[in-house]
Structure formats: C-alpha cells, structure tokens
C-alpha cells in the first residue's frame, strides 16, 4: 500500500474517532493536542487548561457569557439566505443552507439584538462559525448593518464578536463581496455620530470579515492565540517564498505590531467590555458654552504677597 494512501487513511480515521470540542467525556485541544476533561474545559468557559487556547463557542453560549441574564432581545430572526446564483458544487447551496439551519437551529451565521452588560445597554452581534464556518453572506452583512443602525438610532454602543474562518461566502459570489463595503459604510456612520463600536476577534477571523467590519472597531479586542488575517500563513509563505516570523497572524503578534489593541481572557471579557463602554459612553452631556455679556468684566484677584 502506498505511503501517501496510508497516511491519508490514518488522518481520516483519526478525525472520525476524535471527540468534537463539545461532546464526550474527553476532548482534544486543537492547539496543543492534549487530551483534557470536558467538564474542566467547561468550567473555564471552553479554554484549554494546558495551553490557554480558546475554543470556538456557539453564539448562544457567547451571548450568555457576555450579557446580563434575561436581558437579550434578538432581532432579525426572520432573515435567511437565498440562493441568487443557483450555486452547485458537491451539493446545491440551497440544500446546504437547509441542512445547516436544521443542524444549528440558526437561520444564518449571525445573531444580533439588544441587551445589557452590567446594566449598561448595548447592541450585540455575534458570528457563529458553526454555521458554514461563520462565512459572510448577504444575510450576515445585513444583520451587521441592522445592528449598527439600531445602535445609531438608540445611541447604544455596538459590540460585534467575530469568528469567521470562511471569510466571504463564495456560494453567493458578488453579493457576498458587496457586504464588505456595505458593513464598512454603516460603521463609518457610527464613527461620524460618535457611537462607540467595539470589535472582539475570536479564533479564527479571516478573509473578507477581517478586511472589513472586524478590523474597524474603536477598540479592537482579541482572544489569546486567535488566528487573524486575510489569507492563511501557509498561502502567504508559498507566495513570497520566505519563512514567516514565529507566531505570525496570531493575536499576540498583531498586538505587538499595532493591529490589535488588547488581548483579553474569555473570563475577563465581560468586565472589560463594561469598563470600555463606561469610558466611551458619556453619562452626561457637556454644558453649552457660556455667552459673554456686554458691559461685564471679569476681575482677577491679585496674588497675595508671600508670608515673611
């Protein structure tokens, strides 16, 4: 039997026998390959106790971790992707969408709504990468824009938690690519109106998502060891024909080079967001400037003589 075939067969068998990060008594860390107790990882909010790798988590779990209990009000639940190009590969895009909706219980990869973080009102949008790798199609772009418009109308800070390993969704072609400009434009309106936008980058955030809304926050936060960039490091290395620096495109590397403002542990993210929202959202309006009154003069007291 050829060596290449054996290796491929072994990898396939290993993938079938490994437990997924959210099932079974044991689970394997995707970063350090350690076998760890699932219950221990759950206690740490799905963070590896050996290497501090932050596992991807569903949108529902993320919302529960960040928002005050019972405060979330979802909007835009009725939006679902169409198949404008009648795209077909191994299976029709329409059939794949239906299968993903049944498997995840989501209509698409984005969930948004209003809520509170430590009683501070916010608009939250979360990208769920369990739905077609969190890729950005027309519905994801529309939900991000709707979330930004709600934040603008209600003067609430916007928080977007990104996690898109798929970037723009190729099955929707130009309709998907248009979402990059669309989301960037609506976020520019937030900046003009001085409504805070905090971007939280999780592993992985790549492609068109990273090249648009994910990198445009007033404050850009990343989880530890998150892979962030437009194109994967292997493709870049093959293109330029040079060795890449250690840790290239990881959150720590990007923080060092100014692309990320801060790296925050998952169990500290909620408190950090509340602190940033307090800093970025004025509690009282500045008083209007006083008008000068004719015929009045301001008297300045003369400095007193120093005591001898």
- DSSP strand pairing (110-117 vs 73-75): antiparallel
Residue 235 binned pLDDT confidence (cut-offs 50, 70, 90): confident
Boundaries of every domain in the chain: 25-53, 56-279
Question: Which CATH number is 56-279 given?
Answer: 3.90.226.10
How does the average pLDDT of the chain come out, rounded?
Answer: 86
Higher pLDDT, 166 or 32: 32
> What value does the mean pLDDT take over residues 2-19?
38
Distance, CA of 98 to CA of 117 (rounded, Å)? 33
Whether the CB-CB separation of 266 and 65 falls below 8 Å is answered with yes
* Residue that has been written with the tokens 């290395």 in this structure: 237
Whether the CB-CB separation of 136 and 176 falls below 8 Å is answered with yes
pTM for this one? 0.82
Q: How many helices (H) and strands (E) does the chain have?
A: 10, 11
Least confident of 39-43, 207-211, 231-235: 231-235
Is pLDDT above 90 for 298? Answer: no
pLDDT over 70 percentage in the chain: 84
| Run of H or E residues at 17 | helix 3-17
The pLDDT tens digits of the residues spanning 98-143 come to 999 999 999 999 999 999 999 999 999 999 999 999 999 999 999 9
The pLDDT tens digits of the residues spanning 52-74 come to 999 999 999 999 999 999 999 99
Residue 288 binned pLDDT confidence (cut-offs 50, 70, 90): low
* Residue that has been written with the tokens 């019972």 in this structure: 70
Distance, CA of 221 to CA of 280 (rounded, Å)? 15
Distance, CA of 201 to CA of 161 (rounded, Å)? 6
């Amino acid at each position: 039997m050829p060596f290449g075939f054996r290796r491929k067969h072994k990898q396939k068998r290993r993938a079938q026998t490994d437990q997924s990060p959210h099932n079974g008594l044991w689970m394997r860390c995707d970063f350090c390959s350690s076998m760890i107790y699932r219950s221990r990882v759950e206690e740490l909010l799905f963070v590896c106790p050996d290497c501090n790798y932050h596992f991807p988590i569903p949108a529902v779990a993320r919302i529960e971790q960040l928002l005050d209990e019972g405060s979330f009000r979802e909007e835009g639940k009725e939006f679902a992707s169409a198949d404008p190009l009648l795209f077909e590969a191994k299976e029709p895009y329409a059939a794949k969408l239906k299968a993903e909706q049944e498997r995840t219980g989501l209509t698409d990869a984005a969930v948004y709504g209003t809520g509170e973080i430590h009683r501070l009102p916010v608009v939250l949008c979360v990208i769920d990468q369990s739905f077609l790798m969190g890729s950005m199609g027309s519905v994801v772009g529309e939900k991000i824009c709707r979330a930004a418009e709600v934040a603008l109308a209600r003067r609430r800070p916007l928080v977007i938690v990104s996690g898109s390993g798929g970037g723009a969704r190729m099955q929707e072609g130009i309709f998907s690519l248009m979402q990059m400009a669309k989301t960037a434009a609506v976020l520019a309106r937030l900046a003009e109106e001085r409504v805070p936008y905090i971007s939280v980058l999780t592993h992985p955030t790549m492609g068109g998502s990273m090249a648009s809304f994910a990198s445009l926050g007033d404050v850009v936060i990343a989880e530890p060891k998150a892979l962030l960039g437009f194109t994967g490091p292997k493709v870049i290395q093959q293109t330029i024909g040079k060795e890449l620096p250690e840790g290239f495109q990881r959150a720590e590397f990007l923080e060092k080079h100014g692309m990320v403002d801060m790296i925050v542990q998952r169990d500290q993210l909620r408190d950090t967001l509340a602190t940033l929202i307090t800093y970025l959202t004025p509690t009282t309006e500045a008083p209007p400037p006083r008008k000068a009154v004719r015929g009045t003069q301001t008297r300045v007291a003369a400095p007193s003589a120093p005591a001898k």
